[in-house]
Structure 1
Amino acid sequence: MITNEPNSLYCAAKNRYESMPYRRCGKSGLRLPALSLGLWQNFGEVDSFANAQSMIHRAFDLGINHFDLANNYGPPFGSAETTFGKVMNKSLKPYRDELLISSKAGYDMWPGPYGIGGSRKYLVSSCDQSLKRTGLDYFDVFYSHCYDPDTPLEETMQALDYIVRSGRALYVGISSYSPVHTKQAVRILQDLGTPLLIHQPSYNMFDRWIEDGLTDVLLDENIGSIVFSPLAQGLLTNKYLQGIPDDSRASREEQIYLNKDSISQDKLQKVMELNKLAQNRHQSLAQMALAWVLNNKAVTSAIIGASKVSQIEDCVAALNNKEFTPEELNAINQILES
């Protein structure tokens, strides 16, 4: 039974900031941990609360003080925020000022025309609902989760500006915007007086779209970035070295981002070759994949997902070997391009 009483049994590790590197986010005063924890999967109402709480606690003990949410994370929608709110109330409330907590709105959330998109009505209403579910007074960062072609970009950015000026968030970000729309968003927010802090795109060895223009924009404009799916939804781990296991995410019929149809034998062969290279670096494949995305000078932080504490520990261990030789980078490129 979950109560509203703080969990006096949890006390954050005293050495939590000794090993995690923190990187300046763009030209702001904010610094992000090299790795952040995303609550997209495994933190919903259908998942174990005890496991979710253990993962959040362990992440914080390891120096991960940024937790990334969205209104539709679950399942069901909203329940990841509710779970995080319970953990905050039970044990993390004394550490609120040490934490960076973000949420987003943009994708389908509730029925009708005002439950999706980039309108001022949707973004502000969703932000209010997210604050209520988490029990927070404000978010550190609030994002437009996706570009909405049916709403003027000026309206979406004005909504983000209002969310900051009304005290609902400290900073604003955008996610999955194209290079062109990112530049437009930067200019609009500059004129409004609420700078764009950060962009959150997908990025991993198999999904390198940001290298085609977006990283140039981020570097030119001095905008931070935090990449999601750095492990390609688990494909860049040891889970798929022997094919697609029955209990994997890709085996579930409801998955649209990673499923059996999207994993070819050619891609699995590349995974095996990459794993050999990781072994030569004395790393797991996941550790090498994380180090690789962090090697991009436009990347401030990488969002990891997890279903158990040991996965978080394995990911953090990637930070022990972040450097690549030119020969290693060339070998990775050759594998990916073959």
Structure 2
Amino acid sequence: MKLCPHQLVFVIIFLFSGVLFGQDYRPIDEVIHVSNNHETMPVKVHGNMNAKTLLLVVHGGPGSSVDDYRTFNGKTGLQLVEKSTLVAYWQQRGAGDSKGVDDKKYYTIDQYVSDLDHVVDEMHEVFPHKKIVLFGHSWGGMLSSSYLSLPEHRAKISAWIDAAGVTDGTKLLEYAFDDVDAVVKEHLTQEENLDFWKDVAKQKTPQNSSLLAYYILDKMPDAHRYVNIEKMQWSERAIASNNSLIPEVLLTNNNQNMEALDFPILLIWGKYDYCVSKKLRDELIEHLDAEKITSVELPHSGHYMMMNEPELFSKKVGEFLDKI
């Protein structure tokens, strides 16, 4: 049988794509809208449809745009993970291009847990044969751990990745202050960039320690790929949601509820994670089944390790997902 010219072109493209991406690669680029309690939230799905897992991104903030988690400063570690798995970027209530009512009565942890449950159910319906892995970063750690506190929610999830995520907000500012204070004292002793470190020493308080934890990275020798958070996307609704949720976060400790988790867990922090201190990670580990945990510390990155060290970040996440 002879093939006509356009059929030959198709065959060549098909075979060439198989060489480039492997025969098991089937790309998807789709937006699924999930509605719940006066909010419509886009879930942007990218990656490999032939993968066995779906990584559901629970972004930070509260109020950060999930779009930054994929494309900030080029390809992030999460976008690199798309080569081997399916990644669903959920835009939370009040963030980015989500649409809804700007009312603080909807900006509560319980409401966001309800939103997440609707998203999880939708992902199971649209991708019924995928294992859902929650990926929580920063505030996303508080939200995902709050979600996993309930047994009916845990039954829908196959694994959890906590990337410098908050599970105990009651110690968040205290530990961030301790970390910043220790770094400031160390550099004052070394007598390098004295004007900068003296200025930080005058400014530091428990209330602003999380913000200072970002800015001191600019003077850390190994953190030269520092992420300027001022360039991230924040809408007026995002700021309103942040102002409403943070006081609740500071009163919430989910660690005791994490003792019931019976699936694989990846904890991934960076050397310079002062904003969400490694002390929080260490206390979380005390409440987890040691046999279920993979704990990784990246050698250079600060809080936004998926942007600072994309290749190494994607490698560690990919190795974890391969075992699920």
TM-score (norm 2): 0.34
Output the TM-score relative to the length of structure 1: 0.33
Indicate the structure whose relative CO is greater, using CA pairs within 8 Å and at least 6 residues apart. Answer: 2
Larger Rg: 2
